[in-house]
Amino acid sequence: MFAGVLLGLSAGAIYWTEAEKEIRILCLMFDAGESADYVTKTLNTGNLLKYERSGDKLMVWSNYDLHSNRCTVEFAGNDIINSRTYVNYFDLKAWLVWGSTFVSLGFIVFHGLLAKGYPIGAYAWGGKNEVLPKKFRYGSLFSAILFAVVVLLLLGANLEFLRIAETYPVLGLVFMISAFFNFNTGSVKEKRMGVPLAVLLYLSFLVLSLQ
């Protein structure tokens, strides 16, 4: 069941992202002075979008992103492009990445506290030890460092000062595996906290991989 839910979320994120890219890229190809025939021929190359013309205005949207992105092309009287406008009402990537950034900051603190011996072990490493033994503390220290790297990559992607695309599919796979491990853990507390957060991080890196 969990695998089916994750597959559904993955498919939704992929179609949403690809639909947004398709509309944005094609819309930016419509410069003033181009013909209406050029616009329709270009839009017909799309697979995930729909369009409709009413008078001198043509609207482009997609059901796959719940109409969150829209391109509007306005024509002059001679069927030549007068202007075009692209609007993104809901940026899925930004919301996922910012959410994952705050989650990762929380995980840095969480694993730092675990590494220092705070009695919150019921939420990690199988939940069998309130205070982690030494070997698990080293694991939490490593996890805190990993999440610090994740925060840097996420901020870099959203604020566009650092983009290491090769790391995105790798980290997406890591958090997908983490989601399954958390789902199958014997600790109810770890499961309730870990599964949604791991899924959020997985979806974030999945979407980043598609950009």
Structural domains of the chain in order of their starting residue, each with its CATH number = 2-88 (3.10.450.730), 92-210 (no CATH)
Q: Could you report the per-residue pLDDT of 143-185, keeping only the tens digit for each?
A: 999 999 999 999 998 888 888 889 999 999 999 999 999 999 8
pLDDT tens for the chain, residues 1 to 211: 888 999 999 999 999 999 999 999 999 999 999 999 999 999 999 999 999 999 999 999 999 999 999 999 999 988 999 999 999 999 999 999 999 999 999 999 999 999 999 999 888 888 888 998 888 899 999 999 999 999 999 999 888 888 888 999 999 999 999 999 999 988 888 899 999 999 999 999 999 999 8
Question: What is the reported pTM?
Answer: 0.89
- Per the structure block, which two tokens stand in for 188? 């109810």
User: How many CA atoms lie less than 13 Å away from 111 in the CB half-sphere?
Assistant: 20
Exposed / middle / buried, residue 205 (Cβ in 10 Å: 0-12, 13-18, 19+): buried
**Rounded-to-integer distance, Cα 11 and Cα 180, Å:** 17
Question: For 197-211, what is each residue's pLDDT tens digit?
Answer: 999 999 999 999 998
